[in-house]
A and B are shown apart, each in its own frame.
Chain A
Amino acid sequence: MINLENISFDHCIKCTVCTIYCPVARVNPIYPGPKQSGPDTERLRIKNPDLLDESLKYCSNCKRCEIACPSDVRIADIIQTAKWKYSPKRFKIRDFLLSHTDLMGTLSTSAAPVVNRITGLSLTKSAMEAFLNISSKRRFPAYEPGTFRRWYGRMKSEQEAFSEKVIYYHGCYVNYNDHELGKTVVRTLNKLGVGVTLIPEKCCGVPLIANADLPGARKNARYNIQSIETAVEKTHCSVVSTSSSCTFALKHEYPGLLEIDNSAVFNKIHYITAYLSRLFAQGPVPELQPVNLTAAYHAPCHLERMGGVIHTLDLLSNIPGLKIVLMHSECCGISGTYGFKKECYDIAQDVGEELFKRIADAAPDIVITDCETCKWQIEMSTPFRTVHPIMILAQSLGVYTF
């Protein structure tokens, strides 16, 4: 039962810095934290898989522990792998539903108004809590009718006319829940002289990983990398994504946790702000209108993990009139599907509490964050509208108005 590939636990010097930085361990005394859940008990699980602790389920895979670790121990990877590898396989309908965001999206968008009404009903909420262990306190993301891809279909020929193009990996969220973001990305890139191509894609796998379905995540990863490889080989285009977690998965979870080789296209995949800030750096910087707003910026954990925050800030710093109040680096709590679970809802809210307070103290006009689930969490837990940085840029470029 020894995984020869991830023996990074062996480098742990027990300094406990990771546990100090773990947002879940801070608020939940039952969760022993990354050190114990990761490197410490991995040694015991190798001895006897029965020693798997149930408390591993509290890890939200936010990866903050990995950023903190001075020994480069892939703590969160060890934990996610352990959940899957050592646990008796039990099918949980709740985890299945939460983790198959693409399937749920396909089913829901065709009947979006109905689904939104239903998931908003308190009766449904209590039923979901009783039967599915999905927290009734969680506000469900709304589904939009139709899909972003369908909209794009009508734009396709227009996009092909551009000489310079990028591939847009839109992810489940844009396709099913937020067409506006997708449309704005297309308009923004077009304004900058770049056309947008879509390729066949599946859910990046992040929710599958979080729900201990590594084989399922691996299947999606293989599909996505193959699709990207084929497209990149043909077009030499870059791939951009507006979801920090999707990007993190495509670039880092695939080779690290899922053991899927993405080296052929690794350098081609970018989080959108990294791509754009490079574009801006190459010049010429397009003409930008002032956006006279005070915005609180929250950096998502996965963007921090891949060192991407600097690009978002860099990009936003070009926008005249925009006043950014940088929030203290911390987790908002939701961590994807984590905050939907009954047993994790309160933890998620406790984790986010500091952030919500700081946002309120900043008294912003708007909140900016790169991650869709952080957006849900902040919008549910504070009175502030929360947007993707691209929306602000689009406003400044005159292709979108609030």
Chain B
Amino acid sequence: MKRMETDVVVVGGGATGTGVIRDCALRGMACVMIEKNDLASGTTGRNHGLLHSGARYAVNDPESAAECISENRILKRIARHCVEDTGGLFVTLPDDDTEYHKRLVKGCRAVGIDYEEIDVSAALKIEPNLNSGVLTAMKVPDGTIDPFRLAASNVLDAKEHGAEIRTHTEMVRCIISGDRVVGVLCRDNLNGELFEIYSKIVINASGVWGRRICETAGVPLTMYPSKGSLVIIDYRVNNVVINCCRKPFDGDIIVPGDTVSLIGTTSKKIDYDRIEELDVDDDEIEVLLAGGEKLIPNVSRTRVLRAYSGVRPLVSRSGDVDGRDITRGIVLIDHEAENGVKGFITVTGGKLMTYRLMAEWAVDLACEKLRVDVPCTTHERPLPGSETPSNRPVPHYFDGISKSVLGSAHYRHGERMDHIFSKDKKSYGLVCECEMVTAGEVEYALKNLCVKDMIDLRRRTRLGMGPCQGELCSYRTAGLFNDLGAADEQTAIRMLKDFFEERWKGVKPVLWGDTLREIEFTYWIYQGLFGLGGVPDEDEPI
């Protein structure tokens, strides 16, 4: 069996894991990150990407609120191309009690969140599509954060500082020697090969899967997985984050996310053995759309693109709690101190937007154990792509490449866009027409951003995430994979099929109206015209 050695192994390639690996690499440690699927394929890629101002927690959980506002300020600086400083509003719906507004004001003041109470008319000016009957309004420094870009940029920086990244590589179990975890046994999920990585420390950053990882090290971890569902609206029906001003409940927030808007979220406690079943129920969709419509009436006239769900990695370290009332705080466990198992750290809980702080804590602890005396710099060091202020004008490359194409690439990759467009005009041929992904961007992602298949590529670029859900880009992309030597013909065709299966999973719960027409048309092209249904599955012989 193949065997590698390193200082630190990080398990999990979500926001937390990618944050940890970057921090390790920046502090000069030899490190390897393993992710069983793709970057941000877990909970990180399944939320609404709210860059909390902390206001949502200011009333009930001031500790989380304080973490949020502090990280909010940091991320706006270091991750400019992953966050958008949209601003946010808290509004009291016509049927709600304005009492909560006062409590929220008090909470924000206590935590130090820069809120501003404004007239409803001023709120309507900021967000013209807002329900005009709202009773109170207040501005908060909410923003949005793109989890895919965030994970990819952290990994890119880590790689550039010597870290090794292995996606589609699963940790089978910890390797134990005496009272110490000395490494991990891994399986390459692309070819089934097993191998070992020996290390001085293993950091478990596997989110809601953390309990399973801990079990292989023989330590308990009590998780309270809570499923949340969201729906995606075809375009931005709002340009600022809109929150209901009351205790959090289902369907109380609409977040603009790149070209779409997301309505969130439900909250359902689920059994731990069901964390992989991510179905969205009809009643959840109903609740979300009804809630969204109350905030922005136009929601009812808009196409719903998809619905999906994620599982919050909530941990109980003390008593029994469930669902939303649990603290969303960061959980850092030194298993040596807690369970007497050396060389093993778990970091979980928290939020997407507190990933950096979680990583800082975990790596501080690892450094202490390894006697590495290098301080954390991630709070001041910009991610690759965010080096200069985002208001730098989009560079002009050559005539014939339009602003919508350049601007979209810049939005997604920041400064790194310079690596995407070359003088070769082929590089700006459009592959995905909804989200303006070019052949150059596909090639760049394939070479630099750990892309193994088309689904990975979607997470790096937004390819196939627009209204047509892959109708036009997918066959071109499969062709490009083949052209660029990233897949042979049969593999490319299978990727195409897998890509559609993945896309349709999110579309199925919302099959009505224009979404239904779109999918019927896509089905007609790929089944009727291309005969894609005749392609055998992976395990069937061709």
Contacts and interface: CB of A to CB of B under 8 A. Distances in A.
Contact of A48 (B129, B303, B407): B407
A71 B468 CA distance: 14
A79 to B, nearest CB: 13
A2 B129 contact: yes
A35 interface: yes
Contacts of B236: 2, 43, 46-47
Interface string B57-76: 00000000000000000000
B82 to A, nearest CB: 15
A50 interface: yes
A42 B394 CA distance: 19
Interface in B461-517: 466-468, 471-472, 514, 517
A13 B472 CA distance: 10
Contacts of B298: 2, 4, 7
A205 interface: no
B235 A36 contact: no
A329 interface: no
A14 B471 contact: yes
B81 to A, nearest CB: 13
B259 A10 contact: no
A317 B237 CA distance: 51
Interface string A202-229: 0000000000000000000000000000
B434 interface: yes
Q: Which of A15, A45, A51 has the most CB of B within 10 A?
A: A51
Given A47-B258, A53-B402, A2 B237 contact: yes
Given A2-B129, A44-B259, A10 B514 contact: yes
B301 interface: yes
A50 B302 contact: no
Contacts of A47: 236, 239, 256, 258-259
Interface residues of B, number: 36
Interface string A26-50: 0001101001100011111111101
B402 A7 contact: no
A21 to B, nearest CB: 17
Given A10-B514, A14-B468, A43-B466, A51 B235 contact: no
Interface residues of A, number: 33
B234 interface: yes
A1 B404 contact: no
B408 A1 contact: no
Contact of A41 (B128, B404, B467): B404
Chain B binding surface SS class: loop
B467 A43 contact: yes
Contacts of B399: 30
A10 B235 contact: yes
Contacts of A16: 472
B259 A55 contact: no
Contact of B468 (A13, A44, A46, A51): A13
B417 to A, nearest CB: 14
A11 interface: yes
A348 interface: no
B128 A2 contact: yes
A55 B467 CA distance: 22
Contacts of B430: 36
Contacts of A7: 298, 301-302
A33 to B, nearest CB: 10
Interface string B110-136: 000000000000000000110000000
B467 A12 contact: yes
Contact of A54 (B235, B403, B433, B434): B403
A4 B129 contact: yes
Contacts of B128: 2, 4
Nearest to A56: B402
Given A4-B298, A14-B468, A44 B514 contact: no
A51 B521 contact: no
Contacts of B408: 44, 51
Interface in B341-386: none
Interface in B294-319: 298, 301-303
B436 interface: yes
A315 interface: no
Nearest to A44: B404
A10 B303 contact: yes
For B235, B411, B466, the residue with the greatest tally of chain A CB atoms inside 10 Å of its CB is: B235
Given A2-B129, A4-B298, A53-B402, A11 B521 contact: no
Contact of A15 (B239, B256, B259, B521): B521
B404 A51 contact: yes
Nearest to A1: B239
Given A48-B407, A51-B407, A55-B402, A13 B234 contact: no
Given A36-B433, A43-B467, A14 B472 contact: yes
Contacts of B256: 47
A101 B11 CA distance: 70
A10 B521 contact: no
12 contacts: A2-B129, A4-B129, A13-B521, A14-B434, A14-B518, A29-B400, A41-B404, A42-B235, A44-B408, A47-B239, A51-B407, A53-B404
Interface of A: 1-2, 4, 7, 9-16, 29-30, 32, 35-36, 40-48, 50-55, 71
Given A7-B301, A50-B407, 9 more contacts: A10-B235, A10-B302, A11-B303, A13-B518, A13-B521, A44-B404, A46-B239, A53-B404, A71-B517
